[in-house]
Structure 1
């Protein structure tokens, strides 16, 4: 739990205090922003919602009237609950210094917890309003899985916010996410361990998921030692659009250094096998009531042609003396995995998007993200366009490897750009040069690396604006 420099009485919402909160929320004489903006001292508040979620609030002495509702990223089930109201300490300090109030909750449970996260975040806003008065403006923001939560709030509860900022978010939604997580492991099993009985979906418990991850992980480790294995690992990585430079600790490979790029992808794939593709999938399946993924009807030859790293795969196959056409044929002929319709329905209803925005949303993404590839932005753009919301959506890209590896300047610059849209009623300064200038002005001590970029098509989009896709 974070210990504040100056802390008012700790809030714990038992049944008795929840009733008092309800009375306070209903009171007509609730304090306003003006009552606090210039006079109240800085306050740090921690507490527990009736759901069990932990919340965290910081209101600076110079509150500018804007509250930022932060949704945190994925936390595996079993970890302690902890409130979080900013992406990182440096960005938090910068935003507090600029007068923003910061709030956020832990969610009542960890894991694929969208059904807890959205109501818990809205309840946290209620607590803030009851204690500090109505904000002049409310902006939802979040990173990674929290970008999914933020977009869910934006689409389903637009009356609670004025705009949203989704950073490195799963804006493609849950069905697309789990489908595309299936593709690389399906390729690894089919090409590196043909005939293996290793399980890819439908896990009974965490132990069975861990066993499958260990078996396939060892197979991949062994394959990495041969040119043929490396080529096939690159093919699997390409189906997830894993970039050849995806971690700041890796030297940036030359554009045609296929082996260095593949080595970086191998590391990212091993990370995927160790947690998301098996352990996190099993937890999500337990919520959905079954397997929510399928690859029936998928043309892997077509998918590879659309991949951002297609060229690398073709070159490594040539170097290994393998037939790419033959391996793609093996993938396309392999027995497929079907989904449980009820599980797909649950994931669709809780975690997929319509693209219908009522308030402006800005999304930012790094170009070198292996966990949530930048191509997810194409998926949400497609949904928003179909829903008639394209004018409310802007997307920007940071030239950096890694997942959510934004500087404080880049995050704050994006926030200020969204605020300009809210102030002016139209988008201004969303081009890379303007974003970099705004970011540098917000924090000249950290990098600003926005670039012109157009992501490749997302390989397996699924959204509620195109409900028949992928069936």
Structure 2
């Protein structure tokens, strides 16, 4: 007899029980048991590997299914860690929902425990979307994990509005006719918009006033002056060299303008019913004051060289027609697992590459300040790696993060997380890896922290 799910009663009771009749597998990194299967109720594929020399710790990663044979994960397997995780769901681009991804991860944890017993400790970790759910797991599922490591993890509504702010300044000052929201993921219209935006920014870069306004937009938006997809066009700029810094801002910006290759916030827009991006009531003069001090210094120099007034331009931006976020979108994103509220309840290490043009490093500062406000600072540590790109951490940097968390869980005290000590640890654990932890000069205050209220939750 079939149940409402389309499965027999026996299948429904044991839907999480894959076939474990196979032999232990061998690879260059040792011998391990592997489960590769899918969750029938949702079809999400997952993978579990438990080495013969299991040390009792499970590393749970949203993206483990496809990354199992990466050098990092094979090394972790050899070191005795069990690993588990999923494959990204089909259709994720058009129907993104981190809460569903969390549900899948918890299902895989159930499967693991059913076959291998409860781990001595479970660490949730992941990069990008994996970092996003890791932050949420630390906040709302401390009963299922003992520690969390989020790398380049976004808080989606924060990320969407940080993305909006720089483009809004550019639209107000340079290209009022060009769109900044509701841009298709791909297609001829997207290509047309991308070409128009690139033309507007290229032309602006040829004039003193245009260069000043590009710098103003990056500073207000709290985007990195050096960061984006692909290969870095140059080394990280000297932040005290105005010309070098502005050129880097321009080179980064043209890689981050709306186009089919910068779909990160389009996913967020498409996820909820209605538009999550909005800037009603925003004071862009105050947002500018919160920016990186050296970026602001460059902006003032550039405006002086252009014989223009930054105050006048800020007034123009503040007077420009605003975009109102839809209550339905804020309601959707306010649900547990879809946003973050600054309350990690397990030891939590949060890391970012500072050249990340997708998940802006400034968000780490926003979360850090929110955690302090909520009284959870003892559980949080943050670290930055000086490298261009999104989730471009080396194997050694990953291993240093995991070992740091292991020491925190085993001793109850955080070991040193200074860049010097993290780099030493990274090189010790993988001598062939680059190690580029460093002291990062971030923004004064992050502009787009959002914690849902009861009104958001009920869509008022």
Alignment partners' CA distance in 2, 1:279 and 1:252: 24
TM-score of the superposition, structure 1-length normalised? 0.82
Paired with 2:221 and 2:260, the residues of 1 have a C-alpha distance of 13
What SS does the corresponding residue of 1:351 show, helix, strand or coil? Answer: coil
User: Any conservation in 1 of the 2:160–2:268 contact (CA below 8 Å)?
Assistant: no
Deviation at 1:376, TM superposition (A): 1.1
- C-alpha separation between the residues in 2 aligned to 1:281 and 1:23? 34
Mapped contact 1:432–1:452 kept (Cα < 8 A): yes
1:365-404 matched pairs, under 5 angstroms: 365-404=352-391
Write the distance in 1 (CA, Å) between the matches of 2:145 and 2:452: 22
1:201 is aligned to 2:181: yes
1:210 to partner: Cα distance: 5.5
Task: Tell me the equivalent position of 1:94.
Answer: 75
Taking the aligned partners of 1:368 and 1:467, their CA distance within structure 2 comes to: 36
Match of 2:301 among 311, 315, 318: 315
Question: Aligned pair in 2 of structure 1 residues 182, 244: CA closer, same or farther (>3 Å)?
Answer: closer
**In the alignment, does 2:310 pair up with 1:324?**
yes
Equivalent residue for 2:413? 426
What SS does the aligned partner of 1:103 have?
strand
Alignment partner, residue 65 of structure 1? 56
Is 1:43 the counterpart of 2:20 in the alignment? no
Per-residue CA shift, 1:273-301, capped at 9, x if unaligned?
24589744444333211111111121222
Q: Count residues in correspondence.
A: 430
Tell me the C-alpha RMSD between the 2 structures.
Answer: 3.1
CA–CA separation in structure 2 for the residues paired with 1:418 and 1:95: 14
Partner of 2:427: 440
Distance 1:95 1:205 in 2: 36
Whether the 8 Å contact between 2:134 and 2:150 is mirrored in structure 1 is yes
User: Structure 1 CA distance, aligned partners of 2:43 and 2:143?
Assistant: 25
**Preserved contact between residue 354 and residue 361 of structure 2 (Cα < 8 Å):** yes
What's the CA shift string for 1:118-160, capped at 9, x where partnerless?
1111122223333433322211001122211111122121111
Unpaired stretches in structure 2, ≥5 consecutive residues: 1-5, 21-29
Choose from 302, 313, 333 the match for 1:347. 333
**Which residue among 43, 61, 66 is the counterpart of 1:84?**
66
Partner of 1:189: 171
Residues 386/257 of structure 1: CA separation in 2 closer, same or farther (3 Å cut): closer
Measure, in 1, the Cα distance between the counterparts of 2:239 and 2:415.
Answer: 34
Select the residue among 116, 121, 127 that pairs with 1:132. 116
CA distance in 1, matches of 2:104, 2:112: 12
Q: Partners in 2 of 1:286 and 1:379 — Cα distance?
A: 24
